Amino acid sequence: MASFMDAAGVNGLSGRCGNMAFRVYQSSWSDVHMFRELFTYCPHILDIMRWSKEIGVRWADEILARNTISAPAAMSGEPLDASGIISTSSRTTFLEFDEPGQQPYCLVASRVGIGYQIASIYFYEIGFLFNWEDQKFGFGRSAVDNYRTLKLQRANHRIAVKPLEEGVCLFLGHENFAHHLLNELTGVWRAKEAGLLNRVQKIFAQYEPLGPVTDLIPDLASVPRQTVKINDNGRILAENNILMIGGVRISASLRDMMRTKITEMASKLYPQEIDTVMSTPGHRVSLAVRTHSRVVDNNNKMIVDICDRLKDRVGAITPILDGFSLPHDLRANPNYTPWFTEKGNLSQAQVNEITWHFRQAGYETVLNTANKDVVLALWMSMQTSFYFSNQGTQQHKAGWLSDASGVVHFPPSTLDQPGSIGWFKGMNEASPQFKILPKEFVKSFNDSTDRASAGYMFQDVEKAADWVANALTESPVSDAAVLAAG
């Protein structure tokens, strides 16, 4: 693959240092046969790949603005408008192109790097699929099979669907608040700022973990909205031109809007909890506590030691144990499985145990976000001065809307990949940059019997806690220095 990429002159297009992935669903074909077929049916594949990289997640904006999208044609390379759109799930969309006299094909947008980008071409009549980016979530044979089924149903008029030129509908389908905000609301907000929301025919919502999108973005108040039951997904996708609109970076204006909305919602729904938080002494510090995944074996000792050292530097400290928080629409939305309630209860039990240890260490007031509405948890994060967290959802909860100083710990393997950390730090345009716990303080720890283990643990805990306390309260430490120290 590397030699092909070098010869093609498109190294780095995928954002994976030229390492392009591909799948072909005729297993008897050799790689040589595959590339011969690829350039036979799509001699302008490199033009399409370059175009897809340039347009990024904004392909959806063009469809919203024009009810179609123009891309280089597979055979001629000339601009060609899409003729149709079929989404097979909340994560994959097939854009149909009919080049006169040539094989019909689709450009496929799927979850690449947790964002919606065009990253595949599929010639459905001959069953040929070529991917130039690694899809992170769920794109594969099932998506292709679902597309072929929906395509056949539409062709046989078993399902009636409006022409693409009559407009599109939006679909919101992620139950995790961070993905919902980063990968879905970013696209809706981008469309709002471009003045395109008046072109949305309808909104279908399977999950809205931060509340109805029509409440968050009043510009959508006049757009019809329907909560979709999971069993109705297939029918909704089949009968409508569904557009998956999203992004991979939270703008400063979207962050400001979310801070305002979270404050309004929390003030209305949780006045007693707000009074409790605001009456706590000293600086509040958010401390991530994992239960069912990414559990660092000696995290409990680490977070107590961090608080002790922060107390020495800044005075009184109120710990906030950040456990598993619940989607805002959990109780009103039948699509959520019992898994969420189970994990919330498990997290609450663990946090109660850790709270006892903190009180033994002299901390009379210990708060937590476990088993609570994520809206309240996000509001609490906005009242903190510091946070210490693992990578992932809990960092997003502690740091995306907060102005707090933060330190994040990563697995040793991730610390060897500055590009991955840079991508992680680039998700939010305006939140303060967190610091990284140096590699010298983490070591691999593989317990094959514990599926929840993060695969690493802290080492030299007292020295590590001292480093964290200094990093949280002193001038920023550069990433380059941290990585070099590792």
Q: Domains of the chain: which residue ranges?
A: 1-248, 252-485
pLDDT at residue 486 in the model: 36
Segments in 129-287 forming alpha helices (H): 141-155, 177-179, 186-193, 213-216, 233-239, 252-269, 271-278
pLDDT at residue 270 in the model: 98
pLDDT at residue 382 in the model: 96
- The pLDDT tens digits of the residues spanning 125-167 come to 888 888 877 666 556 778 888 888 888 888 776 666 777 888 8
207-219 residues labelled b (16+ CB within 10 A) or e (exposed) = bbbbbbbbebbeb
- The pLDDT tens digits of the residues spanning 362-391 come to 999 999 999 999 999 999 999 999 999 998
Segments in 232-373 forming alpha helices (H): 233-239, 252-269, 271-278, 299-314, 338-360
Mean pLDDT of 319-328: 96
Strand pairing report for 283-288 and 200-205: unpaired
Mean pLDDT of 201-218: 94
pLDDT at residue 114 in the model: 57
Nearest-angstrom CA–CA distance, 446 and 426: 29
Q: Is the pLDDT reported for residue 95 higher than 90? A: yes
Q: Is the pLDDT reported for residue 30 higher than 90? A: no
Q: Domain 252-485, what architecture?
A: 3-Layer(aba) Sandwich (3.40)
Residue type, 424: F
Please, which pLDDT band fits residue 481 given cuts at 50, 70 and 90? very low
Mean pLDDT of 244-267: 94
Nearest-angstrom CA–CA distance, 54 and 67: 20
Mean pLDDT of 9-15: 32
This prediction's pTM: 0.86
pLDDT at residue 247 in the model: 86
Q: Is the pLDDT reported for residue 29 higher than 60? A: no
Q: Is the pLDDT reported for residue 448 higher than 50? A: yes
CB distance 92 to 78 below 8 Å: no
Mean pLDDT of 66-79: 94
pLDDT at residue 235 in the model: 85
DSSP structure string for 54-82: HHGGGHHHHHHHHSS-EEE-TTT-SEEE-
Please, which pLDDT band fits residue 441 given cuts at 50, 70 and 90? very high
pLDDT at residue 414 in the model: 87
Mean pLDDT of 250-258: 97
Q: Is the pLDDT reported for residue 112 higher than 80? A: no
Q: Is the pLDDT reported for residue 78 higher than 50? A: yes
pLDDT at residue 25 in the model: 36
pLDDT at residue 296 in the model: 80
Higher pLDDT, 10 or 388: 388
Helix axis angle for 252-269 and 374-381, nearest 10°, is: 110
Output the six-digit token pair for 486. 């590792």
